[in-house]
Amino acid sequence: MKLDAHIPPGPLAEKWKQYRGTMKLVAPNNKRNLEIIVVGTGLAGAAGAASLAELGYKVKVFTFHDSPRRAHSIAAQGGINAAKNYQNDGDSIYRLFYDTIKGGDYRSREANVYRLAEVSLNIIDQAVAQGVPFAREYGGLLANRSFGGVQVQRTFYAKGQTGQQLLLGAYQALSRQIATGQVELHHRHEMLDLVIVDGKARGIIARNLITGELERHAAHAVVLATGGYGNIYYLSTNAMNSNVTAAWRATRRGALMANPCFVQIHPTCIPVSGDYQSKLTLMSESLRNDGRVWVPRKMEDVMALREGRIKPRDIPEEDRDYYLERRYPAFGNLVPRDVASRAAKAVCDEGRGVNASGKAVFLDFASAIERYGKAEAHVQGIHNPDPATIQKLGKAVIKAKYGNLFEMYEKITGDNPYDTPMMIYPAVHYTMGGLWVDYNLQTTIPGLFAAGECNFSDHGANRLGASALMQGLADGYFVLPYTIGQFLSDEIRTPKIDPNLPEFKQVEDEVRARLEKLLNNQGSESVESFHRRLGKIMWDYAGMSRNAEGLDKARKMVRELREEYHREVYVPGSMNEFNPELEKAQRVADFMEMAELLIVDARHRNESCGGHFREEYQTADGEALRDDENYAYVAAWSWNDGEPELTKEPLTFENIEVKTRSYK
Amino acid sequence: MKLTLKIWRQKNANSKGQFETYQVEANSHMSFLEMLDVLNENLISQKKEPVAFDHDCREGICGACSMVINGHPHGPMQGTTTCQLHMRHFKDGDTIVIEPFRAKAFPVVKDLVVDRSAFDRVIQAGGFISVNTGGPRDANNIPVPKEDAEEAFNAATCIGCGACVAACPNASAMLFTSAKVAHLAKLPQGRVEASRRVLRMVHQMDVEGFGRCSNISACEAECPKEISITNIALMNREFFRAAFKSEESPM
């Protein structure tokens, strides 16, 4: 198969504009007769569904949640990037484009990323018009902060709840369309398979999670906005129910899965505290604006900390190793996520981890509190403020910026981060890989589109902070509503798709057989226990650092685990009822297959780039060593019944010089 | 720690439920939901049906948690969702009573799972600003005083969990509805259709079968996001002003 990304002609900065101006259109009277299924109601899904409905298409939306507002975009904390240059610090569309390509370690498409940077401006305008309450300055204008891997302030935020506020904006826009009847909402419905008729995506099989019934839903096109696959690792910052089933089922029906090994491990999460742990909690990257990351220099201090003989604040400045500031003076604590995560792993592997398990580093706000305290005292006209006043004022500033994150930390750990440094460790957070899509966000199956984290398109091998919200909303509000017209303009003569076609029955029967097999299994082990074991294999061998030997071993282990799963799993309850264990069981079955594909991709990519670090390919000082000659391509895989087949989409860089990524 | 759990079990919306008693061993670092995970693993290993409960993000933001713990929605800790509640706040030997949020407008789906789609319909009635995608003016052309933006934000942090309804003896949804009315009413963008919005949302609240507000303020006390009842006062003002001047009848 040859992959065509359908990049429009013209100079980079003109491509999207020219393409939009010459696209095929669908007249309003025809839009009324065209139906679109949107699966998922996170940023990409809700924004896309609302925008498509505003255009006049008939939209059916599916979410497995009880309400569209619960999609996991709601949990995004830190912010959203946009090249507004409101701070007059030299930002521009080109610079956001450049930072994103570089941040992604030169493994994303120029044209897509440039378009993303371009529409970033519209997203902020749109969100503000919807009433999203972003942080503001006293003059009433929007405030910004910095995120990792950049040297300008382009991140818009709403305290540590930016995802919540942006999702509620999209949810409200969607609600407005539901009220008009333009969108039909199916909540507590989970997509379990894709239906293809005459080579085009024409519908889905969904399970009504309350009654347990399987339903057939037909449309002229299907949009997947179903998020990422981070929960393959069991422990991640993803919500408990986030899963890969929709995207995986599309892959099994012929879509290609691109770069599955590009997984983002986020450096600042609350460390694992026990075997019973069900998920990990992120502490926003925005904290690295003000928090300094360190571990002790001396092993005796490390031991004393672990045994509780000293407190972190007892260690004098000169005995602390602010290792990010030391290794990367240009970006300091704001290096990109992959770099910060590996650096934390390195100091912990040296034995300098600061908690009992040896897997934690400090994120310390003492100097920020002091700095802000002095500045605030000055503003208030207090000369020679005493230390207590400085502390009080400084803590108030920190509280205004990160209050909810500090509270969350204290609730989980019982420690007060205003008085003692946070303890953090990397955890799986986001997946850059996903369904392969062309410039129109269309997969290799005509009529099947993928938006948001669910596609692979814009982040290369590493996503920069505050870029996920940007991409999800860009796809949903400003890309898909245009590009889907390219496909639908040829469908205006296609009558309403009939869900009684044999293709629908066939897929429904297959889904029912899959679920019944799980339910009738005579095993004795819970789904959860298998999921934990899968996660451990993935974290140990396909996590923060990988090598050929480990990956070969992991592939074998995952295959064995999958066989054992289908032999030994026990799923209680029955098909025709509300049955959360059955939901989990089919999701974990799909994770088990996707996990193998991730390993195969990681094994084949003999280079280190972004979040993919192969121990065999590193520089003398432990930095990632890319191989542009042999691996400057998108790896798009078909599953092919467990013997994955690779198709390459070469990446060409015409507007940006490909360099070794350096943040030193 | 050894705990005794009395948990509401109900097969589906149409069947009668009852409390069942379980013993479980937990440790103080666990979250409350992780303690329930342990219980469910035990039940599954005995081939019994696990307890169904809604949960997702487990970091206090998605609003899926819907259980009443020892008489309090989301349990005894103030400003804390069930998923953020940790077992260090309980003692060895404690008996814990767990039941679903109870309200006429929130029918039980199964065990501790309830149907809160009534909230979605209240938002659909008017909890939005009517602006289509595309072409709005530059964001900074709408300056908003910092204080107003912050008050709007505070109201907008509602997670739509329904604890306010579960806490209210009348099962009123005033705190939830007023938080959205206040969020949008505080912003210049939201003023344009403020009257229509408040009338329609209040009407929908009644249609869904939520009760009246009688100023008990249990909603505020139990709200995991500490949404203030001053929002209710604001909504009342907005409502009477709108009802008085509007051509659209208060329905």
CATH number at residue A346: 3.90.700.10
Q: Are the beta carbons of B2 and B25 closer than 8 angstroms?
A: yes
- Over 80: is that where the pLDDT of B251 sits? no
A337 is catalytic: yes
Q: Are the beta carbons of A425 and A394 closer than 8 angstroms?
A: no
Q: Residue A400 domain-assigned?
A: yes
CA distance A585 to A581: 6
pLDDT score, position B247? 62
For chain A, report the end-to-end CA distance as a whole number of angstroms: 41
Count how many Cα atoms sit within 13 Å of the Cα of residue A551 in the half-sphere of its side chain: 25
| Average pLDDT score over residue span A360-387 | 96
Q: Which residues pair with A648 in a beta bridge?
A: A635
CA distance A169 to B133: 11
Give the tens place of pLDDT for each residue, A627-639.
999 999 999 999 9
> Does an H or E element contain A295, and which?
strand A292-296
A520 contact B CB<8A: no
Q: Residue A611 domain-assigned?
A: yes
Shortest Cα–Cα distance, B236 to chain A (Å): 21
Q: Which pLDDT band, with edges at 50, 70 and 90, does A149 fall under?
A: confident
Q: Which pLDDT band, with edges at 50, 70 and 90, does B249 fall under?
A: low
Give the tens place of pLDDT for each residue, B10-56.
999 999 999 999 999 999 999 999 999 999 999 999 999 999 999 99
CA distance A416 to A420: 6
Q: Are the beta carbons of B9 and B20 closer than 8 angstroms?
A: yes
CA distance B177 to A396: 31
B116-245: in CATH 3.40.50.300: no
Minimal-distance CA residue of chain B relative to A410: B84
CATH code where residue A615 lies:
1.20.58.100
Chain A positions in Cβ-Cβ contact with residue B136 (cut-off 8 Å): 125-126, 128-129
Q: Residue A509 domain-assigned?
A: yes
pLDDT score, position B32? 97
Give the tens place of pLDDT for each residue, A124-146.
999 999 999 999 999 999 999 98
- Over 80: is that where the pLDDT of B248 sits? no
Measured over the CA atoms of residue A67, residue A70, residue A73 and residue A77, the dihedral's sign is positive
A356 contact B CB<8A: no
CB atoms under 10 Å from CB of A400, counted, come to 12
Residues of chain A with pLDDT > 70, as a percent, come to 100
Average pLDDT, chain A: 96
Q: Which residues make Cβ contacts (< 8 Å) with residue A624, sequence separation at least 6?
A: A105, A338, A608, A609, A610, A613, A617, A618, A661
CA distance A517 to A539: 29
Give ∠ CA B12-B13-B16 in degrees, rounded to 5: 75
CA distance A624 to A660: 9
Give the tens place of pLDDT for each residue, A512-561.
999 999 999 999 999 999 999 999 999 999 999 999 999 999 999 999 99
Nearest to A35 by CA among A169, A219, A254: A219
pLDDT score, position A148? 83
Q: Are A276 and B146 inside 8 Å of each other by CB?
A: no
Of A395, A428, A461, at which residue does a domain stop?
Answer: A428
Chain B positions in Cβ-Cβ contact with residue A524 (cut-off 8 Å): 45
A180 contact B CB<8A: no
A509 and A602 belong to one structural domain:
yes
Give the tens place of pLDDT for each residue, A215-269.
999 999 999 999 999 999 999 999 999 999 999 999 999 999 999 999 999 999 9
A293 and A395 belong to one structural domain:
yes
Give ∠ CA A263-A266-A272 in degrees, rounded to 5: 110
Structural domain range at position A618: 502-627
Q: Residue A588 domain-assigned?
A: yes
Q: CA gyration radius for chain A?
A: 25
Q: Are B153 and A274 inside 8 Å of each other by CB?
A: no
Mutation target to probe the A interface, by most A beta carbons within 10 A, among B15, B35, B37, B56 is: B56
Q: Domain segments of chain B: what residues?
A: 2-110, 116-245
pLDDT score, position A396? 96
CA distance B237 to A182: 33
pLDDT score, position A661? 86
Q: Are A175 and B127 inside 8 Å of each other by CB?
A: yes
Q: Residue A256 domain-assigned?
A: no
> Does an H or E element contain A193, and which?
strand A189-197
Nearest to B183 by CA among A619, A512, A541, A158: A158
pLDDT score, position A662? 85
Give the tens place of pLDDT for each residue, A15-33.
999 999 999 999 999 999 9
A142 contact B CB<8A: yes
Q: What is the pTM of this model?
A: 0.97
Q: Residue A97 domain-assigned?
A: no
Q: Which residues pair with A282 in a beta bridge?
A: A269
Q: Are the beta carbons of B122 and B204 closer than 8 angstroms?
A: yes
Three-state secondary structure call for residue B100: strand
DSSP B194: H
The better pLDDT of the pair B108, B135 is held by B108
Could you give the number of structural domains in chain A?
2
Q: Are B128 and A50 inside 8 Å of each other by CB?
A: no
- Over 80: is that where the pLDDT of B175 sits? yes
Nearest to A75 by CA among A240, A229, A188, A189: A240
pLDDT score, position A273? 86
DSSP A577-598: S--HHHHHHHHHHHHHHHHHHH
Give the tens place of pLDDT for each residue, A193-205.
999 999 999 999 9
* Top-tier CATH class for B2-110: alpha beta
Q: Are B117 and A67 inside 8 Å of each other by CB?
A: yes
Nearest to A292 by CA among A327, A252, A263, A332: A332
- Over 80: is that where the pLDDT of A622 sits? yes
Minimal-distance CA residue of chain A relative to B133: A51
**A199 dihedral zone (left: phi>0; alpha: psi -120 to 50; beta):** left
Q: Residue A34 domain-assigned?
A: no
| Average pLDDT score over residue span A53-69 | 98
Residue in the structure block whose two tokens are 């329904």:
B162
B55 contact A CB<8A: yes
Shortest Cα–Cα distance, A482 to chain B (Å): 11
B14 contact A CB<8A: no
A286 and A421 belong to one structural domain:
yes
- Give, in order, the Cα–Cα distances in Å from A89 to each of A145, A146, A153, A154, A507: 12, 11, 7, 9, 55
Shortest Cα–Cα distance, A228 to chain B (Å): 14
* Cβ-nearest to B62 among A239, A572, A581: A239
pLDDT score, position B7? 98
Give the tens place of pLDDT for each residue, A492-506.
999 999 999 999 999
B25 contact A CB<8A: no
Q: Are the beta carbons of A318 and A301 closer than 8 angstroms?
A: no
* Active-site annotation holder among A337, A352, A546, A605: A337
Shortest Cα–Cα distance, B138 to chain A (Å): 5
Nearest to A453 by CA among A637, A230, A135: A230
Q: Are the beta carbons of A310 and A281 closer than 8 angstroms?
A: no
> Does an H or E element contain A435, and which?
strand A434-435
DSSP A119-163: HHHHHHHHHHHHT----B-TTSSBP-B--TT-SS--EE-STT-HH
The interface predicted TM-score (ipTM) is 0.97
Topology agreement, domain B2-110 and domain B116-245 = no
